[in-house]
Each structure stands twice: as structure tokens, then as C-alpha cells.
Amino acid sequence: MKRSIAALAAAGATVLGSTAVLTMPQASAAAQGCRVDYTVTNQWQGGFQAGVKVTNLGDAVTGWSLKFTFPDAGQKVAQGWNATWSQSGTAVTAANTDWNRTLGTGAATDLGFTGTTTGGNPIPASFTLNGVTCTGSTTTTTTPVTTSTTSTTSTPTTTTTPSPGGTPLAANGQLHVCGTHLCNEANRAIQLRGMSTHGLQWFNSCYNDASLDALANDWHADLLRIAMYVQEKGYETNPAWFTDRVNSLVGEAEERGMYAIIDFHTLTPGDPNYNLDRAKTFFAAVAARNAARKNVIYEIANEPNGVSWGAIKSYAEQVIPVIRAADPDAVVIVGTRGWSSLGVSDGSNETEVVNNPVNAANIMYTFHFYAASHKDNYRSTVSRAAAKLPLFVTEFGTVTATGGGTLDQSSTTAWLDLLDQLQISYANWTYSDADESSAALLPGTCAGSDYGTGRLTASGALVRSRISTADHF
């Protein structure tokens, strides 16, 4: 199985999931100091990924530079985000970008990078912020066994990770939002990768035992997004059938150890409030039916368009309590303005959500892109937003926003590299045999029983090659 981490262990101790927390002692009334939370989120043979949260405990600064030294000469920063990264020998510098150059007292910013290593523990011994040393203790967590956290200032605590099992669901259990990340039962940030169905009213035959087995066992997908259109001959035409079909697919995903996103696929009209009563009825039913399951994620509005963020927020704050009444623990994903582009496609940006977030806990915000149409300015928005908002790419395409055109491999690769670096989960549009270049399966595939690699389109082959690589749970 691709989920095995045994082959990733180096000769020394594994540091997957390691966290280093370093704080400056309070020594004066000015309270000058800093805190750095350094987390090795992924590790593989010859490389690793680290998140760095910098908190300013002193006076406000405009313009900052974080410096640290790797313990081993073989450790190098390969690619970083949310800062300008440089390295000389073992000394590393991360300098502010324009949008995070100011850090007020108590303010924090999240950075990160991927690195290469020839071995050893990639946790620096100390950090400085504008010359102020942040010192303290280091904690190390090793999966998949029971782990202990030690500190010079507190009593050790113990946390048990979920069993790694052979599936994403077995490895991670009930998910929740922690900070800006999707996290598992052990509070470890994770990334899910999978596929979205097409409209069930058109491609219901594509979702059978053979196709779902291929998705789970050959693609090694972590999740299935169940796209239930509301209009376009969807839910409003036969609520009972669509509700039952969604529930059955959630169960099919659970049997295969995959997570399931229940997507209330609103598109036209773009104001989700048009379907407010339908949404309340539908989510009351599916939340009651699936509350005991740990694999369910609720996406309450696919692509709001032609509507203000305030109206979307109002809709969310009315629908989320309906879900919570039956299923208080599941993650809920909220659509954003401009076809879930965080407002970029409407000439706005993420600040409208940052400054006026939905009044609910355990939620994430949707971002959609189509690689041939949405490029650098959209990627820049995601890079900025990911430091402040928990994001989930519930739909993306490798082609144009129409679902057609030529596959843009370069832009798709740039997007998926960014999502991997930021640990943002994603689902590709679509796991279907639609006669369009965004489809993963060749036309006619769903009429048969062969869902192997010979039945993949160029888009399907590219996305499968990314999804089927090892997860770093």
C-alpha cells in the first residue's frame, strides 16, 4: 500500500510530525522576545517539509528577518512560501513578504518550506527574529506509536495517534480544523487528495463497485466528493432519490476507507439563499443519517456567483446549525465569492473573508481553480490566504474553466506543488467519462467494467500520478 511509512525511515529516529517550540524568557518590562513553532509535517527519503509559525512577543515590527541554522550540512531549503528564503552553508534566512511585513505585539505569521536532506534530524537548535534570540526546548513526535511531549517548563504529556491502518480513514479517524489546517484525531495537520463525481443525474452509472474499487485501490485516493446538483435536473426534481443516492455513496466510500464530501452543488442561480430551504431539508436528512460516521465532510454551497460575501455568510450561518444539530463534530466547508475563488474572479480577494469570517467553528473555506484559466494571481491569493484561513480545494480542473480545452500540465503541476507545500486538500473534476477534456475517464468507460489505466484520459493519467503517490499522514 502507498500509505506505508516503513520505507521512509532513516537510519536514525524518524521525525515525521516533529514539533519544535522555542520561546524567549520574559526578562524585562519591555517583554522583548519571540516564539517559533517549527513542525516537520512530512518526511520522505531524501527530503522533508516543515511549517514555521513566528509569533512576535515584543514591540510591533515593520520588516522582519527570521534566521536559524540547520544541524547538518546536508539539509537544504528547496522551496519556501510566505517569505523570501535564502541559505548560506547551514544558515537559513526567511525575510518578510510585502503582505506580512508588519508583525504587531502578539501577532503571528505562518511560513513553510520543503527541504532536502542526506540524513539526520532537520530541527534547528535556535531561531532569531530581527536579532532577538528565541530559545527553549524541543519536542519530538514519532508516528505511529504513542508519543511523549517534554518541556523544560511543564510536565510531560502523552498523546496516542490513531492506528495507521491500510486506509486514510483508518489512519486518521474523525477530522477537525485546527488553526488553518485540516487535522486528524491526533491533531496532526494532513492533506487529503481525491476525485469529484460529476452530476449524479447524468453519470450515476460511473459510481459502481468496480469504479470505486479502482479509485480506492489503484488510485489510492483519500476522498470522494459527491457532487449533487440542486438545479440542472438534480435534487429539486426528486429529493428522496438524490438524498438516498448520496447516503449510499457515503457508505461506499466508508467501506473503502475513503472520506466523503457531500457537495450541495449549487451553480445556477448563484445566490445560495435561493436554495436555503432545500439546503436545510437536505442537510438535516444527511446529517442525521451519517452522524455516526467519521468519514463525512459537508460542503454547503458549491460555487456562489453573482452574490456578495455577506449574503454567502448569512446563508452559511443558517445552514451550519442545521448540520450541527445532528452531527456536531464533522467539518463543514463554506463556498466563497466569485465561483469559490475567494472573490478573485470578481475582482476582490481573501480579505473580505478574513475580515468578516463565518461565525462558526470547525469550518473551512472553498477555493476552486481551473489550471489553464487561473494562474499566478490566483496562486498568490491562495498563498496569502492559507496563512489566515483554513482552505479546501473541493474542485479543480487541469483545463479551462469551461471544463474543456487542452490540458495545461505546467500550470496544473504548479498548482498541485503549491497545494502539497501548503497541505491543502483537493478533489479533481471529474471522475467520470464525460465527453470533455476535464474528465478522468475515456468516453464509454462507464458502460463497461474496466477502470484501469488504459481507460484514462490525459487529465486522468496526470491526476492519478499525483494522487497515487504516498500520503504523509
Question: Catalytic site residues?
Answer: 303, 395
Residues 284, 12: Cα–Cα separation, whole Å: 51
Region of 84 on the Ramachandran plot (φ > 0 left; ψ -120 to 50 alpha; else beta): beta
Pairing of strands 47-56, 108-116: antiparallel
d(CA 287, CA 279): 11
CB 116 within 8 A of CB 70: no
The whole-angstrom separation of Cα 33 and Cα 203 is 58
Q: How far is residue 294's CA from residue 259's CA, in Å, rounded to a whole number?
A: 8
- CB of 66 closer than 8 Å to CB of 52: yes
CA neighbours within 13 Å on the CB side: how many for 98? 1
Cα 274 from Cα 305, distance rounded (Å): 12
255, exposed or middle or buried, with CB in 10 Å at 0-12, 13-18, 19+? middle
For helices 458-467 and 409-422, what crossing angle results, to 10°?
A: 20
Detail the DSSP E strand segments found in 47-166. 47-56, 61-62, 65-69, 76-81, 84-88, 91-95, 102-103, 108-116, 127-129, 132-139, 147-149, 157-159
Q: Is 376 left (phi over 0), alpha (psi -120 to 50) or beta?
A: alpha
**Cell numbers 483554513: residue:** 390
Residue count of the chain:
473
- Give the integer Cα–Cα distance in Å for 84 and 107: 19
65 by Cβ neighbours in 10 Å (0-12 / 13-18 / 19+) ranks as middle
C-alpha cell, 374: 487561473
CA dist 39 and 37 (Å) reads 6
State how far the Cα of 209 lies from the Cα of 422, in Å rounded to an integer: 33
User: In the numeric block, which cell numbers belong to residue 145?
Assistant: 506509536
Cα(447)–Cα(219) distance, rounded to whole angstroms?
A: 20
